[in-house]
Amino acid sequence: MTTDEKKPDDERSVPDTSRRRMIVSGSAAAAGILFAGIAQAQQLSEAPQTMDGLPVPMPPANKTAGPIVAGRDSKLQGRVAVVTGAARGIGRAIAVEFAANGADVIAIDIAGPVSTASNAVPATPQELEETVSLVKAYGRRSEGIRADIRDIHALRAAADRIEQRYGKIDIVVANAGIQYWKPLLDLQDAEWSDVIDNNLNGTAKTIRAFAPKMVTRNYGRIIVVSSMQGRHGTRNAAAYAASKWGIFGLMKSAALELGRYNITVNAVVPGLVATALTLYDTRLTESIAETGYHKPNGPLTPQEAWDRRAATMPLGVGWVQPEDISPAAVYLASDAAAMITGSEIEVTGGDSAKSL
Ligand SMILES: NC(=O)c1ccc[n+]([C@@H]2O[C@H](COP(=O)([O-])OP(=O)(O)OC[C@H]3O[C@@H](n4cnc5c(N)ncnc54)[C@H](O)[C@@H]3O)[C@@H](O)[C@H]2O)c1
């Protein structure tokens, strides 16, 4: 099978080398070739540069981000994306932003209670349908599937159905998650297990269910959602922090295994984001303690919480919005990110400047 045969039908046809050639030579002549017509790029790839009289290898088209094209970091036309935890919050923002950039989006969510070891109010089927409507408003195909990411059979059935209906699966975002606040020594076994099972095992099951569809097509973009709480310890949320640290290990291991199939695996790492996961008293109070302030004795108003956090954040915000996170996912899903895998993008308003 040739490299081109392995590419999905709608892959860009413009090969890769004109930008590299321009960078290698640094010459105005090379720039002229680029602007003169990208249609000639294929021909250029057959005339490699030399170094010490020896030809310099050039990557095949599916092993590079290719030539510079305006807006290529946000082009998702013709892509089919699956987003878990898409009924609301960060998952919804990613689903809608994918659609805004041209992708069809299948929104998966349990849309109901997940575990007693979850502080957030459960999402609803109506919220899932609202995500679907928002995607369709961009003229894209969409549907909502109620499924639990802890159930690999349900995920595999969803993968089969999506592939049958949409022809392929290009992008998967494993975003669904829960959070639970309780001191480590007070945690029940089931509470610890539920958080790990949902966030870490569920993310692994999402990859294991959908990646085989990408392997057969030799193309894929997998994006997992970790957290800055997977970058450092989190007082009173050890299971959550452990699950999000685990996601980094999972992501990097998957990147090692799946790279040979042209599948990239990366993490988006949000800081504190205004969603149902966070906007309640315990979470905001804990977040103040994370900034180094003494933990407040009583509840804070949202404005007090914002002000205290904003004072410690490089960009002067108390927290960021779901729509601040989704552009990072679009970029990682685009062809422009072809050579990024095993990597992380932190979107925090500046929290990440304080962590390794
Ligand atoms: N909000 C933040 O500050 C923040 C920060 C860092 C990371 N994150 C991560 O971002 C992701 C999205 O969080 P959010 O803030 O949008 O929360 P959210 O509670 O608004 O959304 C999470 C969605 O995931 C779904 N879900 C949870 N478990 C599921 C399961 N087993 N099967 C199917 N769906 C399930 C929920 O129903 C919900 O719709 C989570 O992984 C979270 O850990 C959030």
Is-catalytic flag, 166?
A: no
- Average pLDDT of the residues of the chain: 87
Q: Which residue has the higher pLDDT, 56 or 190?
A: 190
**Residue 122 gets which letter from DSSP?**
P
d(CA 198, CA 209): 15
Using a 6 Å cutoff on CB, does residue 86 contact ligand 1? Answer: no
pTM greater than 0.85: yes
Res 36: pLDDT: 42
CATH 1.20.58.220 for the 76-278+319-354 domain, yes or no: no
Q: What is the DSSP string of 206-250?
A: HHHHHHHHHHHHT-EEEEEE--GGGTS--TT-HHHHHHHHHHHHH
Distance 212 CA to ligand 1 centre (A): 24
Using a 6 Å cutoff on CB, does residue 175 contact ligand 1? Answer: yes
For the cut 50, the answer to whether the pLDDT of residue 38 exceeds it is no
Structural contact between residues 169 and 134, judged by C-beta atoms closer than 8 angstroms:
no
Res 67: pLDDT: 87
Res 62: pLDDT: 86
Substitution candidate for ligand 1 out of 83, 108, 109 with most atoms within 8 A of CB: 109
Q: Which of 72-76, 136-140, 171-175, 289-293 has the lowest mean pLDDT?
A: 289-293
Beta bridge partners of 174: 224
Report the pLDDT averaged over residues 197-207: 98
Single-letter amino acid, residue 346:
E
Distance 91 CA to ligand 1 centre (A): 7
Report the pLDDT averaged over residues 268-287: 86
Distance 42 CA to ligand 1 centre (A): 44
The full length of the chain comes to: 356
Residue with the nearest Cα to atom 40 of ligand 1? Answer: 177
Instruction: Map tokens 């699956």 to a residue.
Output: 82
For the cut 50, the answer to whether the pLDDT of residue 8 exceeds it is no
Distance 4 CA to ligand 1 centre (A): 38
Domain range annotation of the chain: 3-63, 76-278+319-354
* % of the chain at pLDDT higher than 70: 84
In 3D space, the residue among 205, 208, 246, 247 whose CA is nearest the CA of residue 225 turns out to be 247
